[in-house]
């Protein structure tokens, strides 16, 4: 059975840890826009148990996305009323990218990897290296910088160096006993060597120094390699969410 209190608590932390550029609220829903950079920052999410939708409200929120030339996206985390998914399906929204929110206890190891540099503030170098290692739609320095520069919680921007070369990156955001892990990425030519694990462990250790008792992250359900890695680190599924996106939208 889904723990709705846990879901709501983590969802509020997720919103704070990955800020959007614009927010609108509608009867238990929050609509976020961030110039199209990542689905979670450009979607409508329920923030109240039993949040309802009807066709006029869907149409109104859809218009907000279209005005910004963005694909209308609803992110359903289980807090919404059961009828919402069927309504969106009937209105032509297709389901994509099921995602798991994983949690694990912070075991008390507060010693980061000595080769992982942890900075409190973001730098242009971190943004450039991390975004370019992601590639594709996420290789946009300006949009990533606009988001991470808005974080108001405690942060750690991690960079792992090998022979003075930066090879892996990650972001930790600590709030109310939880350390969230974001943007864990490894240089494309060095993946599969355990470098991401070192960044994850270092960010969890940093969270320990900040008083965190738990850690969380998000991973797509289809990403079996990452899922297996996080399982070995003690992560378990707290809940899942999926997206309903307008079929054929911008």
Residues contacting 69, CB < 8 A, separation 6+:
250
Q: At what angle do helices 224-232 and 195-209 cross, to 10 degrees?
A: 50
In degrees, rounded to 5, the angle at the alpha carbon of residue 162 between the alpha carbons of residues 156 and 165 is 80
* pLDDT tens by residue, 50-68: 999 999 999 999 999 999 9
Taking the C-alpha atoms of residue 14 and residue 32, their distance in angstroms, rounded to an integer, is 12
Taking the C-alpha atoms of residue 110 and residue 206, their distance in angstroms, rounded to an integer, is 6
CA distances from 35 to 135, 189, 248 (A): 17, 30, 18
- Predicted local confidence at residue 174, as pLDDT: 98
Mean pLDDT, residues 155-170 = 95
- Structural element, H or E, at residue 165: strand 165-175
- Predicted local confidence at residue 250, as pLDDT: 60
Taking the C-alpha atoms of residue 47 and residue 135, their distance in angstroms, rounded to an integer, is 31
- Predicted local confidence at residue 203, as pLDDT: 97
Q: What is the mean pLDDT of the chain?
A: 94
* pLDDT tens by residue, 16-63: 999 999 999 999 999 999 999 999 999 999 999 999 999 999 999 999
CATH topology for 107-212?
Aminopeptidase (3.40.630)
The single residue listed with the structure tokens 């864990």 is 184
Domain positions in the chain? 4-100+240-246, 107-212
Of 20, 37, 79, 83, the residue nearest 57 (C-alpha): 83
Given a contact cutoff of 8 angstroms between Cβ atoms, the answer to whether 65 and 44 are in contact is no
Given a contact cutoff of 8 angstroms between Cβ atoms, the answer to whether 107 and 76 are in contact is no
> Which residues pair with residue 169 across a beta bridge?
159, 185
Residues contacting 107, CB < 8 A, separation 6+:
208, 234
* pLDDT tens by residue, 85-109: 999 999 999 999 999 999 999 987 7
Of 98, 7, 114, 1, the residue nearest 51 (C-alpha): 7
Stronger pLDDT, 74 or 224, i.e. the higher one: 74
Taking the C-alpha atoms of residue 93 and residue 182, their distance in angstroms, rounded to an integer, is 27
């Amino acid at each position: 059975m889904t723990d709705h209190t846990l879901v709501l608590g983590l969802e509020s932390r997720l919103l704070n840890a990955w800020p959007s550029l614009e927010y609108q609220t509608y009867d238990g829903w929050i609509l976020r826009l961030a110039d199209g950079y990542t689905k979670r920052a450009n979607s409508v999410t329920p923030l109240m148990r039993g949040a309802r939708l009807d066709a006029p409200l869907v149409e109104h929120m859809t218009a907000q996305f279209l005005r910004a030339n963005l694909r209308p996206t609803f992110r359903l985390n289980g807090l919404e009323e059961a009828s919402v998914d069927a309504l969106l399906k009937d209105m032509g929204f297709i389901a994509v990218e099921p995602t798991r929110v994983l949690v694990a206890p912070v075991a008390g190891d507060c010693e980061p990897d000595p080769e992982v540099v942890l900075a409190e503030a973001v730098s242009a170098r971190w943004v450039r290296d991390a975004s370019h290692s992601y590639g594709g739609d996420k290789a946009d320095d300006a949009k990533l910088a606009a988001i991470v520069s808005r974080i108001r919680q405690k942060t750690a921007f991690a960079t792992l160096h090998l022979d003075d070369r930066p090879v892996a990156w990650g972001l930790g955001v600590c709030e109310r006993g939880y350390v969230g892990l974001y943007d864990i990425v490894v240089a494309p030519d060095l993946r599969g060597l355990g470098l991401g694990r070192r960044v994850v462990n270092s960010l969890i250790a940093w969270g320990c120094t900040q008083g965190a008792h738990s850690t969380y992250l998000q991973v797509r359900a289809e990403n079996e390699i990452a899922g297996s890695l996080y399982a070995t680190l003690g992560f378990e599924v707290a809940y899942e969410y999926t997206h309903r996106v307008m079929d054929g939208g911008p």
